[in-house]
Amino acid sequence: MPALDSRSHHLRKKILDTLNSSRRGHIGSAFSLVEIMRTLYDDILKYDSKNPNWPDRDRFILSKGHGCLAQYVLLAEKGFITEEALMSFCKTGSILGGHPDHFIPGVETSSGSLGHGLSIGVGMALSARIDKTEHRIFVVIGDGESNEGSVWEAAMAAGKHGLSNLIVLIDYNKMQSYGSTYEVQNLEPLADKWKSFGFAAFEIDGHDPQALGDLLRNLPRKQQKPTIIICHTVKGRGVDFIENNPHWHHKSKVTDDEMSALYDGLEASA
């Protein structure tokens, strides 16, 4: 697994700053997403932050909406939302809650009720085909989320319709809210499952932006097939004591000592 580069370190620091402003959030889930999200927003997605509803934009859905801190930080960096809005995360009157909402500039649909995002993405992909448009639909789902039957119903529909404009990335950090995916509901053989639903399947180090970018820039590899990219990640990646630690799935009252430890832990990984 590659060491954190300056960009990955910066984004995690910004996530911690946002967490510090509210003292609550899904920190482990956000940290496992950083390289996936930065690659999409820095290098892959077509968008216009000054015109979020630009018709030719790529559509992006963060189905595992509890990892929203990673998305919010990038929305602020790209100019969709202000720094002031970012630092109001989870405060009274803020547009930024603990899961993304459709009224946030740059957010396509409300998410976080697990199992819904891929179905919405399939609908968007079908709509794009009917309208003969060239934009693509990217959906990030979680491995714990994949326990939901609606994920597999959507996968079956995507395979049936050969939606090559649909790219699904799974944040395969192998941890759920209270234990490992192997203990809660084992997903293996994961790639074979997606292939059986008609997807072109790839596995990759989800913390390697170079490899992610190289793969995403050359999709679809197979015409008439949707794509699944299984991103092997570490929940809490970047701070040793929260990595693979279910106690850090969500925190609602982060203390001063815990915040200091998070900052120190991140600096130690630089």
**Other beta carbons within 10 Å of 21:** 16
Q: 68-77 vs 27-39: helix axis angle to the nearest 10?
A: 40
- Residue-by-residue pLDDT tens, the chain, 270 positions: 668 999 999 999 999 999 999 999 999 999 999 999 999 999 999 999 999 999 999 999 999 999 999 999 999 999 999 999 999 999 999 999 999 999 999 999 999 899 999 999 999 999 999 999 999 999 999 999 999 999 999 999 999 999 999 999 999 999 998 899 999 999 999 999 999 999 999 999 999 999 999 999 999 877 899 999 999 999 999 999 999 999 999 999 999 999 999 999 999 987
Picking from 39, 58, 63, the residue whose alpha carbon sits closest to that of residue 168 is: 63
Picking from 226, 233, 232, 114, the residue whose alpha carbon sits closest to that of residue 167 is: 226
Q: Which burial class, exposed, middle or buried, applies to 33 when counting CB atoms under 10 A from its CB (0-12, 13-18, 19+)?
A: buried
Confidence at residue 178, expressed as pLDDT on a 0 to 100 scale: 87
Cα gap 142→152, rounded to integer Å: 13
Q: Looking at the structure, give the CATH architecture of the domain made up of residues 6-268.
A: 3-Layer(aba) Sandwich (3.40)
CA atoms within 13 A on the CB side of 98: 12
Q: Give the three-state DSSP class for 147.
A: helix
CA distances from 31 to 116, 156, 185, 217 (A): 22, 30, 22, 23
Cα gap 32→175, rounded to integer Å: 10
State how beta strands 166-172 and 200-205 pair. Answer: unpaired
Confidence at residue 243, expressed as pLDDT on a 0 to 100 scale: 97
Confidence at residue 1, expressed as pLDDT on a 0 to 100 scale: 65
Confidence at residue 112, expressed as pLDDT on a 0 to 100 scale: 85
Q: What is the separation, in whole angstroms, between the first and last Cα of the chain?
A: 14
Question: What does the domain layout of the chain look like in residue ranges?
Answer: 6-268
Report the alpha-carbon angle 216-220-223, nearest 5. 175
State how beta strands 59-62 and 166-172 pair. Answer: unpaired
- Enter the tokens of residue 79: 């100019």
Which residues lie closer than 8 Å to 144 by C-beta, 6 or more apart?
A: 64, 114, 175, 176, 177, 181, 184
Q: What is the DSSP letter of 115?
A: T
Confidence at residue 269, expressed as pLDDT on a 0 to 100 scale: 86
